[in-house]
Structure 1
Amino acid sequence: MTTEHPRGRVLGRGFQPLAAPADIPALPLADRAVPSVEELADTAAEAACALADVVTPSGWSAAAVEDVLDAIETLTAALAAVDPPAARLLAPIPAATTALRQRMQPPSPTAEAVPPPRRRRRSLGHGHGAQPSQG
């Protein structure tokens, strides 16, 4: 399924969206997000779409892939903290990012290793004193 999206050229290139199992309740979301959350989420979505619009399959560097994997992991952890069912739905994503990182490793012991990420990012906070969900 390909979906045109106003933020970017195309989302879901060849991917079928997964439906949540019927026994999973709706997300417990507030009517209004805490200050700056919607703006930051919009900025993240805009940046992701801009990247998807300009990158080509041969246009990735190790540092760029690391940055994207860091973003995916950070956003996944933030959404997983919403509630235990969200954490269960998002649980496969860390394994996928780990697998991609492993594929970046050199094919032989004599090849050069992938350089580390360009900068250390702060650890994921869980917002205004909230505790991470256990799921």
Structure 2
Amino acid sequence: METTPKVVRSDEEWRTLLNPAEYQVLRKAGTERAFTGEYTDTKTKGVYECRACGAELFRSDAKFESHCGWPSFFTPLAGEAVVLREDVSMGMRRVEVVCATCHSHLGHVFEGEGYPTPTDQRYCINSISLKLVPAE
């Protein structure tokens, strides 16, 4: 079920707010190179927000080591924090994860990979799509 984003900006406004790399991932569904993102190995406690709009998306206690090259979470902060939609790009069928507030691209979610997590899901998220707000 597709929802309407709460934050809507023109392409020009997004280009002004985001640097070119952020824009490519968040607004054009790009992907940062594996093992290059600032949060891939971060263990800092806190909340991960959408870099584009500031909406709270994931908590550090849902982050786990998947060794895939991107930050991985087993669940979003709340069911309404993200929107899932079918992605048939790259010659395969995947499930894209976007911010529910502004519909910026975050990454993809995978199931059934055997990770020892409560949900058996891996939200594989681009670091550049996130901003960590450390716990106090």
TM-score, normalised on structure 1? 0.28
- Could you say which structure has the higher helix fraction? 1
Please identify the structure whose Cα radius of gyration is greater: 1
- Could you say which structure has the higher strand fraction? 2
